[in-house]
Structure 1
Amino acid sequence: MTKVIKRSKTAAAVAGIMALAGSATVAANVDLPRLQSEQTEIHRSSAQSQERIDSLFEQSRELLADYRDVVSQYESLRLYNDHVQRLVDDQNETLDSLQRQIDGIEETRQGVVPLMYRMIDSLDEFVRLDVPIYSERRESRVERLRDIMTRSNVTDSEKFRQIMTAYQTEMDYGVGLNAYQGTLEFGGQEIAVDFFHLGRITFLAQSLDMRNAWMWDNEAREWTELDDGYLNPLTEAIRMARNQTQYDIVRLPISAPESAE
């Protein structure tokens, strides 16, 4: 009897286990589609998340590249700006130097212009008191210098250059032999003559017919007639000055030097 009871209990237990297993299988069959749907949704969400991550990663890479480009451009611009600033500073220093030079030139100009007028006045007085070699030409040169001093289209440097050239020309009259033709006023008459000068030592004139000769007396500021003994030597001197004959010694009158006061 006892064995029968145990067997009955065992059978009941087995039956209970089978019933539970059947219930679980039914429940699993019922939840499987939902689980599959949830799994699909999880995969889809995971794929979308991965796409977003990939997109964000790509954007971050692009932003990093852009950042590096910006940093590189900034560094290049900084170096270029520093270079330009140094150029500007140097140009400013050059401008300051030029301005100082211009200011100095203006101050110099204020002193040079009066000096040039004084030089022209001195040259004018010298020409009037000197032996009248090329007198008309020299007087015209002085007047021309006075004229250019009033002309705005002539620079101060050019004015000064022409004044110095005039002084050099005056110095050249004091050396060498020279002969040229002109007119001489003597005894109320204008006579065509050959002028001859040896520097400023002597200034002579001879009529073109070679019959008369004169010597300039600078102290008396007049011409004095020479005797006939100087005609031939003067003729030879004039020819030597014109390179028409070889240089030789000739006898000519010489003005006595003026005593210094």
Structure 2
Amino acid sequence: MKKVLTPARGAVAAALIAGMAMPAVAQGQLRQALETGEQATRKAEQVQEQINQLDDQRSDMVSEFRTLLQRTQAAQLYARQQEKVVESQRRELASLEEQLGRVDEITAQTTPMLIDMISDLETFIQADLPFKINERTETINELRTAMENPQVPIVEQYRLIIEAYKREMEYGRTIQTWPEEIDIDGNPVMVDMFLYGRVALVYLSPDNKYAARYDRASNAWVPVQSKFKEDIAQAIKVAKGTTTPSVLYAPATRLNVSAQ
């Protein structure tokens, strides 16, 4: 901090100049007066320094107060926002509690519908072409077991039933072939089964000796004419992926499904 020439210091300087011409006694008195003035000047400087320090402290306190005020306002804004969030969560919780209270009612209404869906699927399979009967019947049994198991949630029961329906739908728009042992004239014979969607179900033995189609009207296997064996063999190759796709021909029969 720069020292300035205060009025007291100016007076001291003037007195020093004037004192050079005074007697010794007067000079002693003047010197004492000057020392007193110098002490007063130093005291004034100390007071001024304290004032400067207090001013700096005041500035720091003002800055800190403004910072605290901003933080307080931000905290209040956050608190108001959180109050809205809590209120929204309370409303959502109340809605969930209401929905949970209706679970038993929904389950009571849904379970009979799912049981009916399984029964309808079983009826359809029984009226459908008799392919993969063991596999499809096992699916029905598994669905009924799931419905009787209290550990299986109703949502999972519904999913299993829908998956079974999807598999049945897929059979109607694809061609498939698989080996199967059947009884022909009392003898077990391994044949290649071939499913034309749901248009026809036929089989052909590897030696081309046996070939037949399933007749819906009589619910029995009916031998096909020899001229169809080549078409069936070609269709089986297409399904196995051993030859390029081509137009396939198959005898069609009407599908009638009656409720039981």
Q: TM-score, normalised by structure 1?
A: 0.63
8 A Cα contact 1:217 1:255, kept in partner: no
What's the offset of the Cα at 1:178? 1.2
Q: Deviation string for 1:187-215 (max 9, x for gaps)?
A: 33332110001111111011132211010
What's the offset of the Cα at 1:158? 0.8
1:211–1:257 Cα change, 3 Å: same
What residue in structure 2 maps to residue 255 of structure 1? 252
1:92–1:258 Cα change, 3 Å: closer
Q: Deviation string for 1:76-130 (max 9, x for gaps)?
A: xxx8999987776554433221111113333222111111111111111111110
8 A Cα contact 1:212 1:228, kept in partner: no
- SS state at 2:166 partner: helix
Count of residues paired in the alignment: 185
What residue in structure 1 maps to residue 204 of structure 2? 206
Q: 2:127 aligns with which of 121, 129, 133?
A: 129
1:82–1:239 Cα change, 3 Å: closer
Instruction: Report the AA paired with residue 108 of structure 1.
Output: I
Query: Which runs of no fewer than 5 residues in structure 2 stay unpaired?
Result: 1-75
Instruction: Report the AA paired with residue 166 of structure 1.
Output: A
Q: How does 1:216-231 map to 2 (within 5 A)?
A: 216-231=214-229
1:86–1:214 Cα change, 3 Å: same
8 A Cα contact 1:211 1:231, kept in partner: no
Instruction: Output the CA distance in 1 between the equivalents of 2:227 and 2:169.
Output: 31
Instruction: Report the AA paired with residue 195 of structure 1.
Output: M
Identity of aligned residues (%): 24
More contact order relative to length (CA 8 Å, sep ≥ 6): 2
Determine which structure has more spread, i.e. the larger CA radius of gyration: 1
8 A Cα contact 1:177 1:198, kept in partner: yes
Instruction: Output the CA distance in 2 between the equivalents of 1:93 and 1:251.
Output: 63
What residue in structure 2 maps to residue 197 of structure 1? 195
Query: Which runs of no fewer than 5 residues in structure 1 stay unpaired?
Result: 1-78
What's the offset of the Cα at 1:259? 6.9
How much is the aligned-residue C-alpha RMSD, in angstroms? 2.7
Q: Deviation string for 1:171-196 (max 9, x for gaps)?
A: 11001221111122333333211000
